[in-house]
């Protein structure tokens, strides 16, 4: 097999990644900030308690640049102005559809306007809104949502619970496994939802019962947002795949494990997965993530990717080293304002399949991806127990009790539990950037 390289199509480093860049906004220069000048992620927001509309914003330190307000200042021209106009509506789809040159041009213009000594400092200052005064909407209209299953460690752990002698199905190492999910129940961080109900069947019961879910779980995932789409009937070459990816955010794909166990054969997830899913408000662009890309490898003893899933680019810089953490805040913790209990930390770099491979495989049959479509990475678990991305793994299918910081115990989630997920990237020679957080709470069933 001949593996070709098209390095020009990879996200490349540029002046916006320079660790020496500082902003005139002091909060952006804090080492603890998720949103230094090297990040500049996008969201849809509005000010709380004001009669205004949702529109695009970019995070910098503890503030948000109101892109609609900045557009009205009339200080930009060309594709930067076109980009600002596209960001001045209640969803980012139009901006995402413009493609990589536009995304990069706007990000560079904002970077320059935010630097110490920038001529546009006073103009941008007039367009700032405190993050503490913001409320968020979904960053884009998610027309379609596909959930993948890219962590071999998660797939193996879950497989062992049901098939101890053969945890991985034969296709796993050959094909990026995925299913089409439900986009209408995806909501932004802060989502609260009622415990789902459905059919449950105990192994020793002759028939199922209708009842609230007893084994409610979270899944720590990465959301991958499509920017520029492809035409129906055309496929996206793996070397071009990342040019179609606008950016990534944190994603909690809730799962009702007992509903899932009864319903998933023969067609896969249904009611166990469509009652709620939660994304963080901020999309970190693929350009901002460029410094944290790294080599992707496949064990020599495993089947190597088919030609349409293989490239030098993907081998050299196909993986993203994004740290992913999960915390649990119980009702008792909230009452005394105690710190949430850390459950696990892993990294997206452990993914068996890359973002480029997901996009290439999704479109190889001619499927047309659209701006705003979202791909879920699947639960991101690492090679050790401490890197488990779900309670199903941490509790060994409910057999092992998890003790929280305050002494409370869990196997699965209880009513009132608030799951908090955080993500960040760190690398020597580059500033730390973060994803903010995604938080959502379980309410009692009706």
List residues with catalytic annotation: 154
Count of beta carbons in the 10 Å neighbourhood of residue 357 = 25
Distance from the Cα of residue 374 to its chain's centroid: 9
Q: For 213-340, where are the E strands, in sequence order?
A: 216-217, 220-226, 245-252, 255-256, 277-279, 284-285, 293-294, 319-320, 323-329
Residue 336 buriedness (CB in 10 A; 0-12 / 13-18 / 19+): exposed
Q: Tell me how long the chain is.
A: 446
d(Cα 276, Cα 158) in Å, to the nearest integer?
21
277 strand-pairing partners: 186
d(Cα 341, Cα 129) in Å, to the nearest integer?
31
Contact criterion met (CB below 8 Å) for 123 and 76: no
Contact criterion met (CB below 8 Å) for 388 and 381: yes
d(Cα 221, Cα 375) in Å, to the nearest integer?
10
Six token digits for residue 198 = 């459905």
CA angle 224, 356, 168 (to 5 degrees): 90
Contact criterion met (CB below 8 Å) for 345 and 386: yes
- Strand pairing class (319-320; 293-294): antiparallel
Distance from the Cα of residue 382 to its chain's centroid: 17
Six token digits for residue 363 = 């479109």
Helix 78-86 crosses helix 100-114 at what angle (to 10 degrees)? 100
**Which run of H or E residues covers position 139?**
none
d(Cα 114, Cα 131) in Å, to the nearest integer?
17
Nearest of 55, 254, 279 to residue 188 by alpha carbon:
279
Nearest of 273, 147, 177 to residue 218 by alpha carbon:
273
């Amino acid at each position: 097999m001949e593996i070709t390289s098209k390095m020009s199509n990879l996200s490349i480093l540029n002046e916006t990644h320079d660790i020496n860049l500082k902003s005139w906004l002091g909060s952006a220069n804090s080492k603890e900030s998720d949103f230094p000048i090297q990040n500049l992620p996008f969201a849809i927001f509005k000010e709380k308690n004001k009669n205004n509309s949702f529109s695009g914003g970019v995070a910098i330190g503890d503030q948000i640049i109101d892109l609609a307000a900045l557009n009205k200042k009339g200080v930009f021209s060309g594709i930067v102005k076109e980009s600002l106009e596209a960001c001045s509506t209640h969803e980012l789809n139009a901006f995402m559809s413009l493609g990589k040159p536009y995304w990069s041009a706007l990000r560079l213009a904002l970077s320059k306007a935010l630097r110490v000594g920038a001529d546009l400092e006073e103009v941008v200052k007039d367009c700032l809104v405190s993050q503490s005064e913001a409320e968020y909407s979904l960053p884009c209209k998610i027309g379609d949502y596909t959930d993948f299953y890219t962590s071999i460690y998660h797939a193996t752990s879950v497989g062992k619970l049901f098939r101890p002698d053969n945890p991985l199905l034969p296709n796993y190492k050959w094909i990026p496994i995925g299913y089409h999910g439900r986009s209408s129940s995806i909501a932004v961080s802060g989502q609260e939802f009622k415990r789902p109900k459905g059919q449950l069947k105990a192994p020793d019961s002759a028939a199922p019962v209708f009842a609230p879910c007893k084994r409610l779980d979270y899944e720590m995932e990465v959301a991958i947002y499509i920017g520029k789409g492809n035409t129906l009937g055309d496929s996206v070459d793996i070397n071009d795949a990342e040019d179609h990816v606008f950016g990534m955010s944190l994603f909690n794909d809730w799962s009702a494990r007992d509903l899932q166990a009864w319903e998933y054969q023969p067609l896969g997830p249904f009611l166990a997965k469509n009652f709620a899913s939660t994304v963080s408000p901020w999309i970190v662009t693929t350009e901002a993530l460029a410094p944290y890309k790294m080599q992707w490898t496949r064990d020599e003893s495993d089947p190597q990717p088919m030609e349409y899933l293989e490239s030098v680019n993907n081998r050299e810089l196909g993986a993203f080293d994004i740290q992913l953490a999960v915390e649990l805040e119980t009702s008792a913790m909230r009452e005394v304002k105690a710190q949430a209990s850390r459950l696990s930390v892993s990294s997206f770099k452990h993914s068996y399949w890359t973002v480029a491979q997901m996009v290439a495989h999704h479109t190889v049959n001619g499927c047309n991806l659209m701006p705003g479509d979202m791909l879920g990475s699947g639960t991101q678990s690492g090679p050790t127990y401490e890197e488990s991305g779900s309670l199903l793994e941490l509790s060994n299918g409910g057999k092992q009790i998890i003790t929280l910081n305050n002494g409370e115990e869990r196997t699965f989630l209880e009513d009132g539990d608030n799951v908090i997920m955080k993500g960040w990237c760190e690398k020597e020679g580059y500033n730390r950037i973060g994803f903010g957080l995604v938080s959502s709470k379980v309410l009692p069933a009706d």
